[in-house]
Amino acid sequence: MARDAGGSREAIAEARRQVVEEISAAMERGGLAWAAEWKGCWSPVNAATGRTYRGMNRLSLAAAMRRGGFDDPRWCTFNQARDAGWHVARGARSPATVEFWSWYVRVPGSGAVTLQRAEQLVRTGRLPEEALKDAFLRGRLHHVFNASQVEGIEPYDPSAHAPENAEVERVADELIESSRCPVREERVDEAYYRPSTDTITLPLRSQFTSMDAFARTLLHEMCHSTAREVGREVERSEEGYAREELVAELGSAFAAADADLDMGAYANADMDRTFLENHAAYLQSWLTAIRDDPSALAKAATQASKAADFVTDRRERLVASREDAARANALDRVPLTSRARSAREATESARSVKTNARGIEPQNIRQTAGRKEARLS
């Protein structure tokens, strides 16, 4: 399928260029610790859906949060605010844009329609199935507003959304246990992922200046190890390896933020000696690549999001399985008579719900099901 940014190609390119300028300036000021300046900006979410933004949108909104001094990580479009019953404050200007990409199909006499609409036309015989083979991607920019610019939305309470003060070593242990490949801690002077053996090797924890440094190095190498799993090609050249390092750096930052690690301490942590020795070369290569082609940063951010999601999902499933096992063990310790009574009460409760089901409006049933489905997703 061909890729086409449609009439927004220039606008998207300009938006990306602005983000590249901000990141480039931060890298030149802060070196490898450039992300420390953005420590409170790494997890922007959509106020209407609750979903964390991914890829280039995550970087764009992080930059906008830092630039605008916003403490609220929630964002939404004008229409989303209106549909939710909120109101964008009078005179407020959108401080950021997000990219939205969809597949389109050209229909004679109708221009381009979404792939979903085209599939409907195929089912009704109004469009030949062969037309779907020519589907193309079209990107559009949507202006978004920070929740602090929106009236009627629930006030943001930083304390209620603050990280759980995660213990860094506990998180590191969970990451290692959930890793898709073996992680070896040995008395060595470098950290690396070796594709030929599909293993990660790290120096001993005692060799690092802090657990934050250990976690940062671990996440960096774990993001490298996802290449084959998420379909990321690593070009065997100096430029290719440098691009892969940028993906691993962005991916580790995304994953660290999703794990509720302290991003200030994380970004400032010194990594292993070999990586630091190559730091200047990597940094210059990144800057050259993204300045010459701002879309290179967008591609790296997209690949980094996939790597971070892969790592994060495996850790979350491990934690969830442990919690399920703990609940099962706790139930096993309850006396048999208590368990029988609990089971009887649960049965009576289920009967009561079934009896009263006729009194629930169908619309409410659908809404309840929708909320449950949203939580599961």
What tens digit of pLDDT does each residue of 209-228 get? 899 999 999 999 999 999 99
Whether residue 117 sits in one domain with residue 32: yes
- Helix, coil or strand: residue 56: helix
Within a domain: 277: yes
pLDDT for the residue numbered 255? 95
pLDDT for the residue numbered 344? 54
Whether residue 294 sits in one domain with residue 259: yes
Within a domain: 366: no
Compute how many other C-beta atoms are within 10 angstroms of the C-beta atom of residue 374: 11
Tell me the per-residue pLDDT of 319-374, one tens digit each, with 9 for 90 and over: 999 998 888 888 777 665 555 555 555 555 544 443 333 333 333 323 333 332 33
Q: In the predicted model, what is the mean pLDDT of the chain?
A: 82
Within a domain: 203: yes
Is the per-residue pLDDT at 375 higher than 60?
A: no
Within a domain: 64: yes
Q: What does pTM read for this prediction? A: 0.75
Is the per-residue pLDDT at 184 higher than 90?
A: yes
Q: Are strands 136-146 and 96-107 parallel, antiparallel or unpaired?
A: antiparallel
Compute how many other C-beta atoms are within 10 angstroms of the C-beta atom of residue 249: 24
Whether residue 123 sits in one domain with residue 23: yes
Is the per-residue pLDDT at 58 higher than 90?
A: yes
Please say which residue of 316, 345, 363 terminates a domain: 316
Paired residues of 140 in beta bridges = 100
What integer is the mean pLDDT of 7-28?
85
Whether residue 138 sits in one domain with residue 40: yes
Whether residue 61 sits in one domain with residue 22: yes
Closest to 302 (Cα-Cα) out of 7, 41, 16: 16
Within a domain: 44: yes
Residue by residue, DSSP assigns 246-270 as HHHHHHHHHHHHHTT--HHHHHHS-
Which comes out higher in pLDDT, residue 205 or 361?
Answer: 205
User: Which range marks the domain in which residue 272 is found?
Assistant: 168-316
Closest to 53 (Cα-Cα) out of 42, 65, 40, 67: 42
Tell me the per-residue pLDDT of 133-146, one tens digit each, with 9 for 90 and over: 888 888 889 999 99
pLDDT confidence of 6, banded at 50, 70, 90?
very low
Whether residue 27 sits in one domain with residue 135: yes
Whether residue 184 sits in one domain with residue 143: no
pLDDT for the residue numbered 363? 31
Please say which residue of 287, 316, 345 terminates a domain: 316
Minimum mean pLDDT range among 89-93, 153-157, 170-174, 271-275: 271-275
What integer is the mean pLDDT of 125-138?
87
Task: Give just the sign of the alpha carbon dihedral 145, 151, 154, 159.
Answer: positive
Closest to 141 (Cα-Cα) out of 16, 297, 296, 300: 16
Which comes out higher in pLDDT, residue 223 or 14?
Answer: 223
What integer is the mean pLDDT of 255-269?
87
Is the per-residue pLDDT at 237 higher than 80?
A: yes
Whether residue 175 sits in one domain with residue 65: no
Whether residue 138 sits in one domain with residue 185: no
Q: How many domains, the chain?
A: 2
Closest to 96 (Cα-Cα) out of 25, 138, 52, 149: 149
Is the per-residue pLDDT at 244 higher than 80?
A: yes
Helix (H) / strand (E) containing 46: strand 45-46
Whether residue 118 sits in one domain with residue 6: yes
Closest to 182 (Cα-Cα) out of 170, 172, 193: 193
Please say which residue of 149, 183, 214 terminates a domain: 149
Within a domain: 362: no
Long-range pairs, 16-20, Cβ under 8 A, ≥24:
16/56, 16/294, 16/295, 16/297, 16/298, 17/294, 18/63, 19/56, 19/59, 19/60, 19/63, 19/294, 19/297, 20/290, 20/291, 20/294, 20/297
Minimum mean pLDDT range among 32-36, 283-287, 364-368: 364-368
Whether residue 90 sits in one domain with residue 18: yes
Within a domain: 359: no
Within a domain: 351: no
Whether residue 172 sits in one domain with residue 143: no
Is the per-residue pLDDT at 71 higher than 80?
A: yes
